[in-house]
Chain A
Amino acid sequence: DAGITQSPRHKVTETGTPVTLRCHQTENHRYMYWYRQDPGHGLRLIHYSYGVKDTDKGEVSDGYSVSRSKTEDFLLTLESATSSQTSVYFCAIPLGAGGFHEQFFGPGTRLTVL
């Protein structure tokens, strides 16, 4: 497996509480991505980072914020969790060889908002 870990792996929380998910990489890559995966929607990009303190929005960024203070860590925060944010969250980094930047995924975090 690529050197990507996510924590926690499972979390149950209540509506209105803040939640932070962590992605940690050991590949020293500039780019990191957060996706969510839902039935019928596939994988959708939430936010991505192209360096320390450099981040940008994806297609489903409302209700989420991110931070990257170190190359190896990319944090995803749900400011005030809602039931619609119940999902599986994946972090990814582009590790493909030869300049093609294929994305490799972490193990995922299953989040349930009650």
Chain B
Amino acid sequence: QKEVEQNSGPLSVPEGAIASLNCTYSDRGSQSFFWYRQYSGKSPELIMSIYSNGDKEDGRFTAQLNKASQYVSLLIRDSQPSDSATYLCAVRGGGYQKVTFGIGTKLQVIP
């Protein structure tokens, strides 16, 4: 059973719209949650981290965490064509425990 689930997409949104990316996880003991962006042929790049329930905003990005529902999401406001990439959800227990990644959701922002 997959521990971190993401829809592989592609998710297509028009330029300027809000893109909503979702992730569920199975380990209730998970403590840290991450979103990475990965452009084709490049390495994953960390864009958001969230550790407590609620919303965390950073520029056009908002991460949302609901531990009771074991659900993490990433909202991208005012989507730009440069946001077109694969977004990886990652989950970890405490400390240096291993990080588990989802398969990623491919986002396409249509000009």
Contact = CB atoms under 8 A, between A and B. Distances in A.
Interface of A: 31, 40-45, 48, 50, 58, 90, 94, 96, 100-108
A39 to B, nearest CB: 8
Interface in B13-58: 32, 34, 42-46, 49, 51
B98 A58 contact: yes
Contacts of A50: 96
Q: Which of the listed residues A45, A58, A100 has the most CB atoms from chain B within 10 Å of its own CB?
A: A100
B16 to A, nearest CB: 29
B65 interface: no
B63 interface: no
B9 to A, nearest CB: 13
B75 interface: no
A44 B90 CA distance: 11
Sort chain B's interface into a size bin.
20 to 34
A40 B6 CA distance: 11
A68 to B, nearest CB: 15
A46 to B, nearest CB: 11
A100 B51 contact: yes
Contacts of B104: 42
B46 A42 contact: no
A15 B8 CA distance: 31
A31 B49 contact: no
A35 to B, nearest CB: 8
A57 B101 CA distance: 17
A52 to B, nearest CB: 16
Nearest to A44: B101
B98 A42 contact: no
Contacts of B103: 40-42
Interface in B82-107: 88, 90, 92, 95-96, 98-99, 101-104
A43 B32 CA distance: 17
A31 B51 contact: no
Contacts of B45: 105
